[in-house]
Structure 1
Amino acid sequence: MSESERRQRFGAYLAQLRRRTKKSQRQLALTLCDSAGITSITRNEVSRWERGERIPDLWLPFLAAALGAPLHELERAAAYARNEADGVLPGPNATLAELLPESELLAPRGALRGRRLGTEDISSLSARAHALRLADDVLSGGDLIAPAFRELHAVVRLYQESTFSEDTERSLLIQIAELAQISGWIASDAGRHADAERAYGLGISAARKAGDRTLAANLAGSLAYQHTNTGRQREGIDLAHAAVEEAGPDASAKPRALFLDRVAWAHAKAGEAQPAIRALGQAHEALEDDNGAAAPTWAYWVTSEELDVMDARAFTELRRPLRAVPLLSDVLARYDATHVREVALYRSWLAEALADANEPEQAAQETRRIIELSGDLTSDRTAERTRVVLERLGEHDEVSEVRELLNDYGHLLLL
């Protein structure tokens, strides 16, 4: 890794710590000036640190106090940026490229083999993958990325270093693919998109090697969803359609509905109303048209309620608030409140739809609820959605409720 990349990683680490304290760059600069008794630290200086252009050596003790981070960790991270021997970036920031170098990814097995794996080992791996999925229902990507990466790293090593029958090998490859999917999803939520893409790619390879086309389609669809949400709409559309083709007509109802929903979302984000609405209808038909095939465990969360949410999100993106608002209001009235990130995300589309429906007062009220809900979340998605809604409400700054909201939380647009 080059010096420039190490400095950028260090800067990203500082930015992550700052966001967790809910401070803007300007607020952090003011805090540092107050604690150091000087006036020379500005928002621009903090920005330079976070871009990796400078290392704030003299200010590390003050940063540790302002960010609530152990000084020794900041010092080791700074040493990492300078490429000193004792430098290391804290564990949650390790990339999959470092944890899973290319030489390890499903490479041919070597001559030195470890213990023999069997059914009980596969069952344990399956339970751990599902535990990560359930944890993702109630925790954010920033909280889960370190354990997710460790699990994925461990199962790839297990594949490399163990012996097993052909049937067990196929089952193990499926567990690699399932862990890669949930790890990629978690990394994406944490804003680690390159790591997510790498995890999805590993999972697709493992699923195809195991002959599980539906699982491969889920990984491809997950990557399509990330592309769609990160400005790569055309790639998202193509990959979402490819996922539907990969799964084929014999996939069970829940996966087929999920893959069609991702097609709908990709078209909606691109502003293509007709194919989006057509795919939404096909997703509902797929869920109702049960062909008797058992749904995989990873599709447990795909329900008619979740399809309603996707309908509403798509209608919001297509600026059809009269269709979006009733659907979201109904779903949110009965949605599991322990799924805080999803509630915050869904309320963000409700707020945006209300703004489109010329109800800025209600939209401002919903946005306050979103910010209150998501204040402790380490989710890049909720942070981005909050910024989108605040920017949208900026078009209604003549409304007193909106002005007050922007006065209180406009700094979030700087994060």
Structure 2
Amino acid sequence: MSRRADNDHPLVHARALFGLSQQALAERIRGAGRRVRINVATTKKTVSCWEHGRTPDEATQRLIAIAFDVDERTRRAMPWPHWLPGPDLPELYQPWTAAGTVAVLDDVLRSGRMDRRKFILVSGVTLTTLLHDWLTAHPDIAHAMAQEGRRVSTSMIDRLADRITDLQRDDDTYGGGDLITEAEAHLSLAHRLLAYGSYTGDQGCRLHAQAADLARMCGWMTFDTGRHATAQRYFNAAMRAARTSGDVLLGANVAGFAAIQHYSVGNPRDADAMIRTAQAAVRGHSTPVVDAMLSARQARALAKAGDARACYRALNDALDHLGAGRRDNDPAWAYWVEKSEIDMLTGSCLLDLGRPAEAQTKFTEADAAYGPGYVRTHALYLSRMASAQYQQGAVDAACDTGMQALSLLEMLNSARSTDHVRDLAASMTGHLRVPAVRDFRERVAVVMAA
């Protein structure tokens, strides 16, 4: 990155990698000391001092290495704090330039199929730094390239644009699992054209925007199949490519999808931060439909965080923006931002906030407005409607709705959708004597095993 936060110390990342607070790390270090008979009095304050520049002594470094499962040879080979474990995400440190974007796309594509444990989700301090750089960086917008490679034709770029549109629509129907290979192949093509082709400045902007769209889809599809760390790497690459293209609204769209990932894995405050940054970025350049999308995403994050008042305010903002109508300059990717989508998200918020009856009403209203092409959306919200029914004590109705969701899930490859049904079935252990519950749970086991 071009800038590091004052407390963006490698020890902060190491703790995040292991899910440890400062207090928990101090306890782990003291425990390591007891095992090897080294007496230390490490506290939360001690860890904080290290993260603000103080260097622990040699004996304590040995215990820190034990706490983080770092072997002694590795520890001795590098000075403090460079041997600490951290996120293996080189794209975070590339400059915000056109060349940096191409390098990030290359690295993410080469390692995109790996989802190793050390690829943690970037959050907290590191995410704040990434968002700040995205908001404030002034990269050289895609410029004309005169490589020795073949001239990039406008017809090639047009064909890629058509395929992006097709992939977006197909994802609505089939889920990401069946399309990720094709999306990655098209992203690879866009990257090769950018890296080795010869093109005008306008063509370069279009190619970077297409790379952003495709990387965003790759991120969404890998998230949809449960590969969270890989998904975030694609989202990071997409934000860079959007920035290089000069399309701030496209970058906001990427941030909106990345926010879904964050609140889905338990980081609602990080999701809210992403949306607020996107809202700041598009201010003065946006359209009502884009503002509606961002407000709705923010509402979901706030509901997950349990902030009901702020959530309802964001939902009202989304409806107000949508009520302003569509514009001729609305981005093509915003085709899905409709009243039914806002209603669906409202139902999900109400469910998270403990209002299942109202949530069910919203799900029913919204689902009726969706066409047959939105199979995954239909399955996802049927499962949520079933959860709303179950929370109200309508056990048989919940099982019936859950069965309907299962019928659709057999047509999809979407871990995100199946997780909701699996969780619902797991929550029904208190009603195992109910025949409908037994049938539903047996059906879930069969479908999930297939």
Q: Please report the TM-score for the alignment, with normalisation by the length of structure 2.
A: 0.65
- 8 Å Cα contact 1:347/1:370 also seen in 2: yes
Residue 167 (structure 2) pairs with residue 162 (structure 1) = no
Residue 225 of structure 1 deviates from its aligned partner by 0.8
Structure 1 residue 99 displacement after superposition: 6.0
Deviations 1:212-262 (A, max 9, x none): 111111111211111111222222221122222222243112211111111
Q: 1:361 to 1:206 in 2, by over 3 A?
A: same
Q: What is the identity, as a one-letter code, of the residue corresponding to 1:294?
A: N
Identity among equivalent positions (%) equals: 31
Q: Hey, what's the Cα distance between the residues in 2 that align with 1:392 and 1:354?
A: 13
The equivalent of 1:207 in structure 2 is 242
Partner of 2:275: 240
Is the counterpart of residue 343 in structure 1 residue 356 in structure 2?
A: no
Does residue 199 of structure 2 align to residue 186 of structure 1? no
Please state whether the residue corresponding to 1:300 is helix, strand or coil.
helix
Aligned to 2:109: 96
Maintained 8 Å contact 2:147/2:198: no
**C-alpha distance after superposition, 1:128-167 (max 9, x if no partner):** 1111101111112110011011111110111011111222
What is the alpha-carbon distance in structure 1 between the residues aligned to residue 449 and residue 156 of structure 2? 48
Shift of 1:366: 0.7
CA shift, 1:115, in A, is: 1.9
Deviations 1:313-332 (CA, angstroms, capped at 9, x unpaired): 11111111121111211222
Which residue in 2 is equivalent to 1:295? 330
Partner of 1:409: 444
Which residue pairs with 1:358 in the alignment? 393
Q: Which residue of 2 is the match for residue 195 of structure 1? A: 230
Cα distance in 2 for partners of 1:358, 1:216 equals 43
Structure 1 counterpart of 2:413, which letter?
Answer: T
Structure 1 position 363, deviation (Å): 0.6
Asked if 1:136 corresponds to 2:171, the answer is yes
Please say if residues 233 and 269 of structure 1, whose CA atoms lie closer than 8 Å, have aligned partners that are also in contact: yes
Pair 1:111–1:338, CA change in 2 (3 A): closer
Q: Which runs of 5+ in 2 are unaligned?
A: 1-107, 115-140
Three-state SS of the structure 1 residue aligned to 2:179 is helix
CA shift in 2, pair 1:291/1:150, >3 Å: closer
1:171-194 residue CA offsets vs partner (Å, 9 max, x unmatched) = 211111111112211121122222
Mark the CA change 1:334 to 1:242 in structure 2 (over 3 Å): closer, same or farther.
Answer: same
1:377 match: secondary structure: coil
Tell me whether 1:323 sits opposite 2:336 in the alignment: no
Paired AA for residue 316 in structure 1:
L
Match of 2:162 in 1: 127
Between 405-414 and 152-161, the greater mean CA deviation after superposition: 405-414
What pairs up with 1:17-28 in 2 under 5 angstroms?
A: none
Between the aligned partners of 2:432 and 2:396, the Cα distance in structure 1 is 11
- Give secondary structure in 1 for the equivalent of 2:223: helix
- Note if 1:309 corresponds to 2:344: yes
Q: Which amino acid aligns with 1:197?
A: Q
- Relative distance call for 1:99 and 1:238 in structure 2 (3 A) is closer
Supply the AA of the counterpart residue of 1:375: E
Aligned with 1:330: secondary structure? helix
Q: Report the secondary structure of 1:160's partner residue.
A: helix
**Distance in 2 (alpha carbons) for counterparts of 1:151 and 1:242:** 29
CA distance in 2, matches of 1:276, 1:393: 29
Q: Which residue of 1 aligns with 2:297?
A: 262
Cα RMSD (Å): 2.7
How far apart are residue 414 of structure 1 and its match? Answer: 8.9
**Contact 2:431–2:437 (Cα < 8 Å) also in 1:** yes
